[in-house]
Amino acid sequence: MNQVIFHVDVNSAYLSWSAIKSLAGGGGEDYRQIPCVVGGDESKRHGVVLAKSLPAKKYGIRTGESLFEARRKCPDVKIIKPDFPWYVEKSRAMMAILSQYSPDIYKYSIDEAFLDMTGMEGLMGRPVEAACRLKDQIRDELGFTVNIGVSSNYLLAKMASDFEKPDKVHTLFAGEIREKMWPLPVRDLFSVGGSSEKKLLKYGVRTIGELAAMDRKRLVKDMGLQGGVIWEYANGIESVPIVQRETKEKSYGNSITTSQDIGSCETACRMLMPLCETVAMRLRLDSMKVSTVTVQVTDYDFKKRSHQRSLGHATDVTAEIYEAACGLMREMWNGTPVRLIGVSGGKAAREEYEQMSLFQDPQTEKQKKLDRAMDSLKLRFGEDAVIRASLLEDNGRTRGMARAKMEHKIKKAGPESRRIKERHNEGTI
Ligand SMILES: [Mg+2]
Convert the pLDDT of each residue in 329-353 to its tens digit. Answer: 999 998 888 988 999 998 777 654 3
Query: Residue range 45-65: average pLDDT?
Result: 88
Q: Which residue has the higher pLDDT, 220 or 371?
A: 220
Q: Give phi and psi for 307, each to the nearest 5.
A: -130, 145
Residue 40, pLDDT above cutoff 80: no
Burial 342-380 (b: 16+ CB within 10 A, else e): bbbbbebeeeeebeebeeeeeeeeebbeebeebbeebee
Q: Which residue has the higher pLDDT, 45 or 195?
A: 195
pLDDT at 382 over 90: no
- Of 57-61, 293-297, 379-383, minimum mean pLDDT range: 379-383
pLDDT at 90 over 50: yes
Ligand 1 centroid from CA 249, angstroms: 24
- Using DSSP's 3-state secondary structure scheme, residue 41 falls into coil
Among 73, 85, 70, 68, CA closest to 21: 85
| DSSP states of 67-110 | HHHHHHH-TT-EEE---HHHHHHHHHHHHHHHTTT-S-EEEEET
Name the residue with higher pLDDT: 238 or 415: 238
What is the mean pLDDT of the segment spanning 141-152? 97
H helix or E strand, kind and range, residue 246: helix 245-250
| Cα 34 to middle of ligand 1, angstroms | 18
Average pLDDT over residues 193-200: 89
Q: For residue 246, how many C-alpha atoms fall within 13 Å in the half-sphere facing its CB?
A: 3
Contacts of 266 (CB under 8 A, 6+ apart): none
Torsion of CA 346, 347, 351, 356, to 10 degrees: -110
pLDDT(209) > 90? yes
pLDDT grade for 246, boundaries at 50, 70 and 90: very low
Ligand 1 centroid to 62 CA: how many Å?
Answer: 13
Q: How would DSSP label each residue in 284-310?
A: HHTTEEEEEEEEEEEETT--EEEEEEE
pLDDT at position 109 is 81
pLDDT for 407 equals 31
What span, in angstroms and rounded, lies between the C-alpha atoms of 328 and 322? 10
pLDDT recorded at residue 241: 84
Least confident range from 220-229, 231-240, 307-316, 362-371: namely 362-371
Rounded to whole angstroms, how far apart are CA atoms 149 and 243? 15
| Centre of ligand 1 from the C-alpha of residue 428, in Å | 12
- Per the model's pLDDT, the better-predicted residue between 64 and 354 turns out to be 64
Nearby residues of 330 by Cβ (< 8 Å), 6 or more positions away: 265, 269
Mind listing the pLDDT tens digit for each residue in 363-375?
667 777 777 777 7
pLDDT at 414 over 70: no
111 is in an annotated binding site: yes
Res 307: pLDDT: 92
Q: How many angstroms does the Cα of residue 111 sit away from the middle of ligand 1? A: 5
Percent of the chain with pLDDT over 70: 80
Label the pairing between strands 112-116 and 169-171: unpaired
Q: Mark whether 42 is an active-site residue.
A: no
Q: What is the average pLDDT value for the chain, to the nearest integer?
A: 82
Burial string for 60-87 (b: 16+ CB within 10 Å, else e) reads ebebebbbeebeeebeebebbebbbbeb
Residue 115, φ and ψ in degrees, nearest 5: -120, 130
| Candidate from 151-160, 191-200, 243-252, 317-326 with smallest mean pLDDT | 243-252
Q: Write down the catalytic residue from 29, 65, 69, 112.
A: 112
Q: What is the whole-number distance in angstroms between the Cα of residue 213 and the centre of ligand 1? A: 30
Starting at the earlier edge strand, list the strands of the sheet with 105-109: 105-109, 112-116, 5-10, 146-151, 169-171
306 closest CA partner among 318, 323, 322, 293: 293
Does the model's pTM come out above 0.75?
Answer: no
Q: Which of 153-157, 178-182, 347-351, 383-387 has the lowest mean pLDDT?
A: 383-387
CA distance linking residue 43 with residue 4, whole number of Å: 47
Determine what percent of the chain is predicted with pLDDT higher than 90.
50
**How far is the centre of ligand 1, averaged over its atoms, from the C-alpha of 319 (Å)?**
36
> pLDDT band for position 158 (50/70/90)?
very high
List the single range of 164-173, 211-220, 286-295 with lowest mean pLDDT. Answer: 286-295
pLDDT score, position 189: 96
Side-chain half-sphere CA neighbours of 386 within 13 A: 16
Q: What is the mean pLDDT of residues 199-208?
A: 94
Interhelix angle 318-332/362-381, nearest 10 degrees: 100
- Smallest CA-to-CA distance from 98 within 67, 134, 63, 69 is with 134
Question: What is the rounded average pLDDT of the residues 135-157?
Answer: 97
User: All domains of the chain, ordered by start, with CATH?
Assistant: 1-174 (3.30.70.270), 182-234 (1.10.150.20), 245-418 (3.30.1490.100)
For the residues of 148-187, what is the DSSP string, one character each?
A: EEEESSHHHHHHHHTSS-SS-EEE--GGGIIIIITTSBGG
> How far is ligand 1, taken at its centre, from the CA of residue 25, in Å?
24
